[in-house]
Amino acid sequence: DAKTTQPPSMDCAEGRAANLPCNHSTISGNEYVYWYRQIHSQGPQYIIHGLKNNETNEMASLIITEDRKSSTLILPHATLRDTAVYYCMLYSGGGADGLTFGKGTHLIIQP
């Protein structure tokens, strides 16, 4: 079973920041928080990951709370092409444990 909880769907207006929450209250100290997204009929696409500190790349920002029990993925200026299912998952390496994708959040960007 997935160790993360996400809202099933969210809407966001085009051009606004999309903030996608993820709860992972049972996270272990060595587990990274990963975000992927899947656009219809394509393979999942890696977005960003982090351990403790906030991270930013050309696609998004990842904010992890100090207790690491939740995180937020931020798409700063959402476009219609950001409409997708966004998955939050935890992984600590070493084996297949944790390589579980939950149901994700279906983000719909409204024009």
Partner 1 sequence: DAGVIQSPRHEVTEMGQEVTLRCKPISGHNSLFWYRQTMMRGLELLIYFNNNVPIDDSGMPEDRFSAKMPNASFSTLKIQPSEPRDSAVYFCASSLRQGAVGNQPQHFGDGTRLSIL
Minimum gap (Å) between residue 69 Cβ and partner 1: 18
* 16 is an interface residue for partner 1 by CB under 8 A: no
DSSP 47: E
* 86 is an interface residue for partner 1 by CB under 8 A: no
Residue 83 in contact with residue 39, Cβ under 8 Å? yes
* 7 is an interface residue for partner 1 by CB under 8 A: no
* 94 is an interface residue for partner 1 by CB under 8 A: yes
β-strand partners of 83? none
Query: Of 37 and 83, which has the nearer Cβ to partner 1?
Result: 37
DSSP 64: E
* 96 is an interface residue for partner 1 by CB under 8 A: yes
Write out the two tokens for 30. 């060595």
* 42 is an interface residue for partner 1 by CB under 8 A: yes
* 93 is an interface residue for partner 1 by CB under 8 A: yes
* 5 is an interface residue for partner 1 by CB under 8 A: no
Give me the sheet containing 32-38, strands edge to edge: 9-13, 105-110, 84-91, 32-38, 45-50
Listed residue (15, 41, 56, 37) closest to 105, CA to CA: 37
Binding site for partner 1 (CB under 8 A): 30-32, 34, 36, 42-46, 49, 51, 87, 91-96, 98-103
